[in-house]
Each structure stands twice: as structure tokens, then as C-alpha cells.
Structure 1
């Protein structure tokens, strides 16, 4: 503890867990470790206990590290490009041999599997791949390591093939308990239905109905340029995988989708190109808007026109989906008859684009909360959205 206090000003991040050793990144941009090292879990090339932070040498830059998992008698490192490295006891890493330095995990080394997440318990090591396979090594549901380390793919009670139940993160607790966290937000669920059913699409790529504004916003190029490249250079399943990322922030084929995105100048898409960030650019944007919602402004005793986008309204509101499906395509404006205030409608629209409520200290929260209690029903939003819980969450920020 004394050593940590001396170094605290120079420490950028500390990683611990079900372990008797600690890994840290210091402000000099280097990786250090100290503590028990009986099985080479510090990756220092030996099995001697280390009482002071000692630099760990890796074959890749520190900037490439996505996650570090110190656990009992072993340590794992996941890189940004989905490669897994481990060091330490064979009985817990599943590597097949004891290691005193970090080496690439052999199970996925030769088949180009991309690892999305890792988590470590005391006697449990769980790996989640990009294509939603779950691999476990250690004590879990009767699976126990013996003389020969075994890593096994497990099945869950969730149907992962329907596109609405994919995972993006795991948490291990104690020895044999795993929590799987679903990646789909209410926003991505609604947009995925829009893609799947082709509702109110205004263009096509390889005969797949899509929505021009969303495609251009996410890729950052003109639709015609995007369409031409995809239809000339990509297979149908590759286009479908790209659309999965565009509409849902999910990558089925990590490597190929990134190659396509790199062609359009998008690097490290999973880290920097988030769907909500892109949709925030469209919020109330007059230049890209293709529809206006006219709302009565009680304070000014006049009407305000809110610039919005049909694909968002259709994806998130059953009321607008029915309206767009049954009215002429050139229908460009509609008046809001919910009877709610302009502030409430603006908050609602913000939520439809981002799954967030921009509530501030100046917001009359009690008034807004009362109005939200029936506005969800009026606009026929996804009934699974716990709107009051979301309101409570953002009202406390």
C-alpha cells in the first residue's frame, strides 16, 4: 500500500480482480506489474514474487490494449483488434503449458477469430467472440479443468441468431457466475426492425431497401458513391453485415466490415463511430431533414417547426409508421395534436434519436414527468421502453 501511495501521481490506470497481483499503466505509457508471480502471471519471464512495480514488455504497443484481466495465477490481455494474450498457469489459462511471458492464445490464433470481450473469475475464464460464441475455461456448470486444460464453447438459453439478443460484454463474479450484457439498446432494436422490414425505405443497395440519410450520415460519403462501391466490390452477405453495423452498431464479420469501413476512411469503428453520436448530428438539423413536426408554443402563442427525419420517426413511433405507410410520399409536414408542451416534444424527439433525455437544471422536471406519462402511449413507442425509469436516470445526472 505504501508503494502505491508513492506512485499514485504517476499511475494512469490500475487493473485488479480475483488475483494476488496487480497490473498498472503509468503515465509514462508503459505497463507494470507487482505481487505474487508463482506461475508467471506477471509476464516478466520468471516466477519470482515482485514487491515493486516492474515493467512488463509486450510485443505490441500499450495503445493497442483494450482490456486487462488479472486473475488467480494468470493474466489476460485483449487488444483493440480482438487478439487475446495470456500468461501464467496452464490450469487456468487453458493454454496447455505454463507461461512466464504473454503469448497469443492458441485456440483462436489460426482461425482468425476476433475476441470481443473477456472476463475472469477465480477459477473461471470466459471469452466472447465477435460472432457471439461463448467459450469457458475452468469451473462452470460442471466443467472443471483436470490434468489437461480444456476450453469449451457453451450454449445459453438465448437465441443468438435472431439479431435481437447479441451480447457485447460479460462480468464474472466469484468462482462460477457470469453475467452477459446485451448490446442492443431500444434505439438499435427499433432501427433493426426498420432494416429488416424495409419500412419507408427511399433507396436500395443490392435490392435491399435502405434509408439514404442514415447511410450517408454513418459512412460520411454520398449515397451514390457508397452504393457503387458496395455493389461492385462486396458480396451480398458482406453488404448485409455492413448494414448491421450502420443500423445497429453490431459487427458480424469484424475483419471484412472494418476493411469496407477503412475504404471510406473510417478507422476503429467500434471505438469511435458510435450510432448515437452520428444520430446526434441529425437532431433538429434543417439541412438533412425530410419532415417537419409542427408544435404549438404556448409561451410565444405561435407554432414551431421541428426538423426531423422520417426514418427515425417510423422506427420508433407506431403512430408515425402508420402515417407514413398510409399517406403520400410527398407528405412533408404534420401538426402535433398530443397537447404537450414544446419542451416536452423536443425532449421526446431527442430521446428518439439518442435514447437519452437532455434534462438540465432549468428543466421543470415534475411538469415534464407528468406529460411523459401518457406521451409514450400517444406516440405508440416501443412498449418495452421503461420511459419513467429513463426519466429518473437522467433527471439525477
Structure 2
């Protein structure tokens, strides 16, 4: 292995467009491909692999069992792997390790909280042999919709006695609910159905191979790239045909007193999952009511942005948006609508406003 002070082209076994992520540290670099394979360069015989700095090789321990890797992180003396099954593996020196085990990739034990919530984390980086940092990505949408699967708020049908939401199932799978239900109950075990529902509601693959087989049956290929939850929910946003409720909002820009209100079509189960205020309101309303007025005092533009965020975790801010005014209105919106307290709404606003 030779040191080089000028850029040197390296050899890889796959097209560059198949690369998902590149991470590097002191003496080695890693590549994660779109299909979840890990390639490494720079690990020496001392660290247990024997590659060099002129080529990437697939990491051997994950070639036999077809493990799919979701994320990678590199530090000074180690790299860490997060698999599709939410297992954490580490290679190199780590807290509690020694020179005898630093050469071997090994699964590490994590705290109960991390284990339970691991699907909502991505590895960000490893600073040194003692610390692994996790960056919680924008998964507030998947966290909140997970409550629907657990609690069945405003469900309107079931599969194997599991309370589900017909329009969400149909939107995610792209087939009629009756067809989906018939196939699942005739061909799938309960755990397989539960795993599929976890993907539908949370974008989480807990049984990667079998869930993909079921999705392939319905014509969905490479679901993790082509069928993101927020993109599917965008199809339901302000959709008159599928909505089951109307939120009446005052339109202050309309000078005609008889037409100063706007009726926004919404889906009760989505707003109930994401907002404590809407959940309490819908639970206490007469179930025969088809619409209710918003009493927040916020403008129509703000309410539309709020609902867009509740459906997608995004704020569709444009050059025409009065950003300062909307930002002021959003400063207390998390508290008023009892949103997930973890949501850094103003940080998200700042990100969106720079697009």
C-alpha cells in the first residue's frame, strides 16, 4: 500500500450511479450501494481485512447471508453499520473492546430505548473509539402514523382483526382494499401481515425479504426508493374524493362576507395521528358531523401550510410566501395544535425557506 499526495483513480465493481453513500475516516473509506451492499478500502491486515487504497472490496461477513445495510458511519478507529433489520455492527476499537476483537465485525448491544426506536435513527458519524452519534432524521411523520397502527384511531376496516385505514392501504399499495385483504389473509401469516403494515404506516421494513415479495406481487418494485410514505400522502393532500371531513377556515383576504370561509378537505385519521388537538376534537365531536370550524385565529395560508406539513413533514414555501409573517404565526403552532414536541418546526421552516 502506497501513500499518494495527488488524486488517484480507484477501481470499483459497480457503476458509480449505484452508490448511495460514501463515508471515510483516518485510514479507510466505505461505500454503501443502493441495494444495501458495503464496500471498504484502506483496512490493513492489522485491522483485519487486508484491502488497499487502490480498490474497494465488498465486506466479506455480509456477502453470504445477503444482509441489507441501511446506513454506515466512520470514526478514527472504527466504522459502524446499521442493517435493514435494525442491528448495529461495529468493526474496530470501541468502548469495551480490545486489540483481540477490534479486527472482527461484531454486533453490539444497545440500550432498550435505542433498540425500540432504532428504525427512526440513521448513523451520522463515529467520533472516536468511545462514541457513536445518531442523527434522528425527519421521521416525525412515520412516528406519528405508527400510532394509527397501534391504536387504530378512526379505522374503518380490518385485516386479520388488525384495525386499519382503507384509503391509506389503497394509496400505498395501489390496489383495491378488497383485493389486498383477500390476498393477505389467504397467503400470508399474521407476522408477515404485521410487517407489511409496518411498512405501509411507518416506511419501515422489519421483514425485508418477505415484505418485498408481497409488494412485488402487487407490482411494487424497490419500494424503499419508489414508494416513500410522504410522497403517497401527498396524493391525499386536500383531495376531495378521498377526504372524510372538512376544516372550515376564515379567509381574511375575501372581502365578500358571504364567502369569507374556505372548506379544506382533510382525512381525520391523519390529523388525529399528528395533532393532539385534532385527536381530542374528533373524539368528542358528534360522529355525524362532516365539518368543523378552526378557531386558532391563524390565516388560511398558515392552516394550509400546517396541514401540508402534517401530511408530508414538509412546508411548501415558495418565493411568493410572506415568510416573515408565516414564521411569526408558526412560533406557537406546535403548542396550540399539540404536535409531537420533538418537531423542530422553526428549524424545518428555515430549511424550507432556503429552497
Deviation of the 1:201 alpha carbon: 0.6
- Among 176, 180, 184, which residue is 1:222 paired with? 176
Once superposed, what is the RMSD of the aligned Cα atoms? 2.8
Q: What is the alpha-carbon distance in structure 2 between the residues aligned to residue 90 and residue 239 of structure 1?
A: 45
Q: What is the alpha-carbon distance in structure 1 between the residues aligned to residue 90 and residue 315 of structure 2?
A: 38
Which one is further off, 333-342 or 65-74? 65-74
Which one is further off, 105-114 or 250-259? 105-114
Q: What is the alpha-carbon distance in structure 1 between the residues aligned to residue 147 and residue 351 of structure 2?
A: 26
Deviation of the 1:208 alpha carbon: 0.8
Q: What is the alpha-carbon distance in structure 1 between the residues aligned to residue 118 and residue 70 of structure 2?
A: 17
Secondary structure (helix, strand or coil) at the match of 1:382 reads coil
Secondary structure (helix, strand or coil) at the match of 2:331 reads helix
Identify the residue that residue 196 of structure 2 maps to in structure 1: 242
Alignment of 1:1-397 (within 5 A): 37-38=1-2, 53-54=8-9, 56-58=11-13, 60-87=14-41, 88-92=43-47, 94-95=48-49, 102-146=56-100, 149-157=103-111, 159-163=113-117, 166-173=120-127, 177-183=131-137, 185-300=139-254, 301=257, 302-397=260-355
Q: What is the alpha-carbon distance in structure 2 between the residues aligned to residue 109 and residue 385 of structure 1?
A: 38
Distance 1:386 1:149, change over 3 A: closer
Deviation of the 1:219 alpha carbon: 1.4
- Asked if the contact 1:165/1:184 (under 8 Å) is kept, the reply is no
Q: What is the alpha-carbon distance in structure 2 between the residues aligned to residue 131 and residue 304 of structure 1?
A: 45
Distance 1:246 1:355, change over 3 A: same
Q: What is the alpha-carbon distance in structure 2 between the residues aligned to residue 272 and residue 75 of structure 1?
A: 28
The one-character-per-residue Cα deviations of 1:173-212 (angstroms, maximum 9, x if unpaired) are 3665432223462221111112111111111111111111
Q: What is the alpha-carbon distance in structure 2 between the residues aligned to residue 151 and residue 257 of structure 1?
A: 27
Distance 1:143 1:272, change over 3 A: same
Bigger radius of gyration, 1 or 2? Answer: 1
Distance 1:227 1:376, change over 3 A: same
Q: Larger strand proportion, structure 1 or 2?
A: 1
Q: What is the alpha-carbon distance in structure 1 between the residues aligned to residue 12 and residue 346 of structure 2?
A: 50
- The alignment of Structure 1 onto Structure 2 pairs a total of residues equal to 349
- Asked if the contact 1:168/1:181 (under 8 Å) is kept, the reply is yes
Query: Which runs of no fewer than 5 residues in structure 1 stay unpaired?
Result: 1-36, 39-47
Using the size of structure 2 for normalisation, the TM-score is 0.86
- Asked if the contact 2:243/2:267 (under 8 Å) is kept, the reply is yes
Distance 1:319 1:101, change over 3 A: closer
Query: Which runs of no fewer than 5 residues in structure 2 stay unpaired?
Result: none
Q: What is the alpha-carbon distance in structure 2 between the residues aligned to residue 68 and residue 395 of structure 1?
A: 28
Using the size of structure 1 for normalisation, the TM-score is 0.78
The one-character-per-residue Cα deviations of 1:86-145 (angstroms, maximum 9, x if unpaired) are 3542333x44x5578654433233333222122222321211111221111112214233
Distance 1:203 1:238, change over 3 A: same
Q: What is the alpha-carbon distance in structure 2 between the residues aligned to residue 202 and residue 395 of structure 1?
A: 37
Secondary structure (helix, strand or coil) at the match of 2:338 reads coil
Distance 1:67 1:324, change over 3 A: same
